[in-house]
Structures are given as C-alpha cells and as structure tokens.
Structure 1
Amino acid sequence: MNETNEAKKNTYEPRRDKHDPKNKQPQSSRGNEWLSTLLYIGAAVLVFFLIRHFVFAPVSVDGDSMVPTLHHQDRLILNKMSSIDRFDIVVFDAPDDPGKQYIKRVIGLPGDTVEVRDDVLYINGKAYSEDYLDPSQYHLEEWENFTEDFSLSLLTGIQEVPKDDYFVMGDNRLNSKDSRSFGFVSADELVGTTNFRIWPLGDFGKIDQ
C-alpha cells in the first residue's frame, strides 16, 4: 500500500509546474496552427467559388414566361456542365437585351426542323406531346390556339436550326419572348441547364416530375 502511494507521489505534477512558462507551447507551433486554419478556410472558400462559377449556381426566375412549369421568383440550381438535350430548361444570355438572362425550354436542336400546326408540335416531321403545357388555365376560345402556327422557314427564312444554335420557347406560349421573336440562341450564349428547384419549399425537387 505504501509503495502504491509512493508511486502516485512520484507521478504527480505540481501545479506550479503546469503553469511554468517553460512548459508552455512554443509560439511558433501556435503560429503554424493559425496558418493551417487560415489555409484550410481559404481553400474551402476557393473551392466554393470555383464550383459556383464553373459548375453549379443559384438562379431566380423573373417573370411568367415559363408558367405553369416555373413561376416568378422560383429559385433553381443551374448546372453549367451538362450537355443540352431537347426539352431541357436552359438559362442563356438574352440575344436582344445585353446584360439580361432568359430561361426557356429547348425545342429545336441543331439540324432540327420545327413547326407548330393546330397546337401540335412537329420536330423533323414527328408530332410531340407537350405535357409540360397547360392551355386549359387560359380559357381559350374554340377558334384560338395556345401556340400560334409557325414554321422555321416562315419565322427565320431557313428550314433547319443552324449548327451550334438552338430554338427555344417558353411554356407560357401566350406570354413569352423567345425564339419566335428574337431568333436562334447560340451555344456560346447558353449558361447552363436547370432541373432542380429549391424554392418555394413546397415545390422543392426536380422540375417536370
């Protein structure tokens, strides 16, 4: 019993030794810790800005041209790296309004022919059902069309969407400034695609599902 007590005494560190300046951590070690922390924070911030600039970014819907799919002030996530497919929702630099961006749906890809007759969309001669539209909410007369008849040749004077260009339209066909008015959208003007809504929370999730 005495030997055990004696061992404890031998391993006990007096309080004055704990607070002895000689036992404090060197200033250089503390400086290295601060430097490591700052480098870690700086790297995290850099990665965040790189992702935001080159990969993903938040975007906000301005206006009603994509109703009923999107509404004014909806918040979306923009994907800047994805390829462009037919019927994708895209954000692009406005061809007719420098400094502004539009959000529309891709209808015609390079090489496509596009035509609408009697509210039916034809791409390369094939009829497509546009389930993302909702003409019923506009109380149209029997003689009115939701999408006015057109063809690329009548609108633009050419038969097909040019290489590296896209033909886009808003889902609110009665109130959308799109390729029917300003023409084709160049691939260089495309910022990215979006298919995920983060606001309002009640509509959180994938779009068009």
Structure 2
Amino acid sequence: MPLPHWATSCIKGGLLGITSWVTLNDHILELVTIEGTSMHPTLSPAYNETGAKDTLLIKKWKPTKDLQRGDVVMLNLPHKPEKLGIKRVVALEGDWVEMDWKRRSRELGVEGKGAGMVWDAIGEEKEFGMGKRRWRVPLGHVWVEGDNASASKDSNTYGV
C-alpha cells in the first residue's frame, strides 16, 4: 500500500533538511562548544568554576580568506589530527615570530631556558640552544597561540 501524499512530502522534506544541515555544517558554518581552558579567560571564563561553556559560530567557507592577526580559528591539532582546537592567530605567513620559552620549556618539562626545535621557512626542523630564536612563518602557514599560556599547546609546541 503506497504512503499518503502528506507522508511522502514529510519524508522528502526531512531528508532535504538533513542533507542541507550536513552540507551547511561541513562546508559553510559550524556551531562549536568550547571545552578546555586554553583560550581562558577570553572563551568559557567560568569553565573551571561552573563548567559553563561558550559556543562559537565557525566560518568554514574559504576559511583563510581575510584571515587577520587576532582572529580566533579552529584547526586540526597536529599531535592529534582527529581532534579540533581553538586558538588565536598571532602571526601570518611571512611574519617573523619568536619562540616563547616560558611556553616551550613547560611542554618539554624543562625549567627555564634550554634547547629545543624550531621549523624553518621551508618547514624543516632546526635545533637551537639557549635564548630566543626568531624565524619567518612559511607561506601557507600561520602561528597560533592559546590565550591561556599556562594551559595551551600551540605553535610554541607544534611549530608553524
């Protein structure tokens, strides 16, 4: 027995709605709830006290178009590509950046300044010693940092 016309219309409308939502979410805009404290206190400032989380609307259509220093971006985390992270753009391609040793030494489990690794302008790792080191962000890359230096893994850990 065939379905009534109204049931067929409802099913078609539901399928169209679902496919539209999936397309919108995957390619144009996505609502993302912030978990964690790497962007504290800018995002989810009461997360530690109350568990309250902020929600962002992330633009996915041409995400690098008009990208500026200070923008908050979503990215696949280099050390866990299946996970997404929210960070602030600090430097764009061609900008010079300087390693923040306070952040880097914490990630290495070292107190104070020490040796580490940086990525040069063509993406190769280079070892360097005491003090700070400057280098240029390569084409097609940005330097990102979390607003909460004590709880953020960012470009000081990943490189560019």
TM-score (norm 1): 0.51
Residue among 182, 186, 207 paired with 2:158 = 182
The one of 86, 96, 99 equivalent to 1:103 is 86
Structure 1 SS opposite 2:89: strand
Alignment partners' CA distance in 2, 1:65 and 1:115? 20
CA RMSD of aligned residues (A): 2.8
Distance in 2, matches of 1:155 and 1:75, equals 33
If you compute each CA radius of gyration, which structure gives the higher value, 1 or 2? 1
Which deviations, in whole Å up to 9, do the C-alpha atoms of 1:86-124 show, x marking residues without a partner? 21101111101232221110111111112489xxxxxxx
Please say if 1:64 is aligned against 2:37.
Answer: yes
Give 1:55's aligned residue: 28
Structure 1: runs of 5+ lacking an equivalent: 1-26, 118-147, 185-209
C-alpha separation between the residues in 1 aligned to 2:10 and 2:151?
53
Structure in which a larger fraction of residues adopt helix: 1
Number of matched pairs: 123
Amino acid at match of 1:156: W
Structure 2: gaps spanning 5 or more residues? 48-52, 101-111, 122-134
Amino acid at match of 2:87: K
Which residue number in structure 2 is paired with residue 80 of structure 1? 60
Deviation at 1:54, TM superposition (A): 1.3
Match of 2:18 in 1: 45
- Over the matched positions of the two proteins, sequence identity in percent amounts to 30
Given that residues 145 and 154 in structure 2 are in contact (C-alpha distance below 8 angstroms), is that contact kept between their aligned partners in structure 1?
A: yes
- Give deviations 1:33-72, integer Å, cap 9, x for gaps: 3322321222122211211121122212222111111124
